[in-house]
Structures are given as structure tokens and as C-alpha cells.
Amino acid sequence: MNDTLNLLKSHRSSRSYTDQPVTDQMLDEIIQAAWRGPTSMNAQEISLVVVRDAVRRARIAELAGGQPWIAQAPVFITLVIDFNKTRLGVEKTGQQQVIHESMEGFGVAAVDAGITLANLMMAARALGLGIVPIGGIRRNPQAMIELLELPPLTFPLVGLCIGHIATNAPQKPRMDINTFRHDERYDASRYPTAIDAYDTTIMEYWNQLGRSDGLTWSQNLGNSLKVVYFPEVRPAAASQGLTNDK
């Protein structure tokens, strides 16, 4: 089996890190791998803010809802939608940028950020490091904007912890791959049976870990998706000029 495929298939989110620093050389390699990733229209509208300062990481951990691994990992990278950068290019031609006011703009930036995030994770893991992506920075995006001193037309979309692993995490089971892959047309007929089976599987996983607080997949989604769990995203994005009204 190809080493790259093995690495992809062995994904784990690591939430336990040593105090060993990530070297400058390692960090440069990781960032260069992400920098080379594709973006729509070659817009390159994603920027990274690398935080290594312990005080700042502790503050981000607090803003993300109290996630101690953010403070523990020696590197935290915030992926920023950066339509401020593209604005400068557009205005150089004497034209006016409007894409940042649209759902298409936010959507394509989210896709490009996802590609960048995947490259960061893969590069870090290829160097033997652990990672965990952090969506919790959107819990209080305005505070993140202020902490990172982000200008208008930017938004902190997702973060990533990187560090040397202290304790290896088990690999979480996934739902049947037939609920992920659809050939020729979308087919949800297998979903009810697969969800029932996965609810059982994930509870067995929690029990093996001794997690008495573990929920089924359905219960977890029911608790999470019945509300907009990060309601400050839209007003914070709008205040940054990302209005999403076109």
C-alpha cells in the first residue's frame, strides 16, 4: 500500500501533546506544503496566522470554549478568509471587488480553506506530528479578529493545533462507506439502517474508552444541530464586510 494512502487512512485527531517544540524547519515545510495547494481562480484568498506564543494560545483555548490542547500544542494556525488581499489586486486594475459580499465568495473561500487545512494536516502528520482541527474559534469570532488584529474583509474560519504527540489517540470508527459514496446518483435508502448500526458502533467505541458521557451519533447531532451552535459567525462576518447577501 502507498505510504501516502496509509497516512490518509490512519487519520487521528490528537489532543495530547508534549512540550517539545515544533522546529522552524518543520513548520516551514508544513506551511510551504499548504501554500502550494490550489485555490479557485488562483485567488489565493486564504492566509495563515501562526501563533506560537503561549499566552496567545491560552487565550485562543479560552475563546474556543475551553479546549486545553490549544494551549498545550506548541503551534496553533488560524486559517483566515482574506478578501482584503484580493481587494488590493482588484483595485490595482481600477475595478471594485464585490465577491466578498456574496454567498459564492464565502462558499468558495471555505472550500479553499478546507483544501489548505487538509494540506497542513497531511504535511504535519507526514513529519510524525499530531494535529487536531479547531472549529471552535468561530464561537467568538470577534474576539479572534481582535486578538489576531485582522483587518476588514477577513474572517477567522478554522484553526489547527500542531505538536508532538504525548498519547496516541484511537481511530474513531466511521459510518458505513456506502453512506459516503454514491455511484451515478444520490441514494439515501441505506441511511436508516446504517445510522442504526453506527449508533451502536460509536457507543461500543465510547465504552471501550471508558467514556460514560459518550452519546450515539444521532443523539450528538440532535443536541448540536437543533440550534445554530456558533450564532456569532454571521454578525461578525457582516461587520467585517463579508455580508453574504448577493
Cα dist from 113 to 3, 37, 122, 220, 245, whole Å: 25, 10, 14, 26, 21
Number of domain units in the chain: 1
Task: Give a yes or no: residue 51 inside a domain.
Answer: yes
Identify the sign of the CA torsion 231, 234, 237, 238: negative
Q: Percentages helix, strand, coil for the chain, rounded to the nearest 5?
A: 50, 15, 40
Percent of the chain having pLDDT more than 90?
Answer: 99
What pLDDT is attached to residue 230? 97
How far apart CA 165 and CA 79 sit, in angstroms, is 22
Per-residue pLDDT at 160 exceeds 90: yes
Task: Give a yes or no: residue 181 inside a domain.
Answer: no
- Contact present, 51 and 58 (Cβ < 8 Å): no
Q: What is the pLDDT of residues 54-84, one digit of tens each?
A: 999 999 999 999 999 999 999 999 999 999 9
Percent of the chain having pLDDT more than 70?
Answer: 100
Task: Give a yes or no: residue 199 inside a domain.
Answer: no
Please count the other Cβ atoms lying within 10 Å of the Cβ belonging to residue 89.
Answer: 13
Question: Average pLDDT of 204-216?
Answer: 96
Q: What is the pLDDT of residues 120-138, one digit of tens each?
A: 999 999 999 999 999 999 9
Task: Give a yes or no: residue 23 inside a domain.
Answer: yes
Question: Average pLDDT of 184-207?
Answer: 97
pTM: 0.96
Task: Give a yes or no: residue 194 inside a domain.
Answer: no
Whichever domain contains 140, its CATH number is 3.40.109.10
Q: What is the average pLDDT score of the chain?
A: 97
What pLDDT is attached to residue 163? 98
Domain ranges, residue 126: 3-170+228-239
Task: Give a yes or no: residue 207 inside a domain.
Answer: no
How far apart CA 202 and CA 214 sit, in angstroms, is 8
Question: Average pLDDT of 98-107?
Answer: 97
- Contact present, 160 and 27 (Cβ < 8 Å): no
Task: Give a yes or no: residue 244 inside a domain.
Answer: no
Task: Give a yes or no: residue 175 inside a domain.
Answer: no
- Contact present, 17 and 69 (Cβ < 8 Å): yes
Per-residue pLDDT at 1 exceeds 80: no
What pLDDT is attached to residue 65? 98
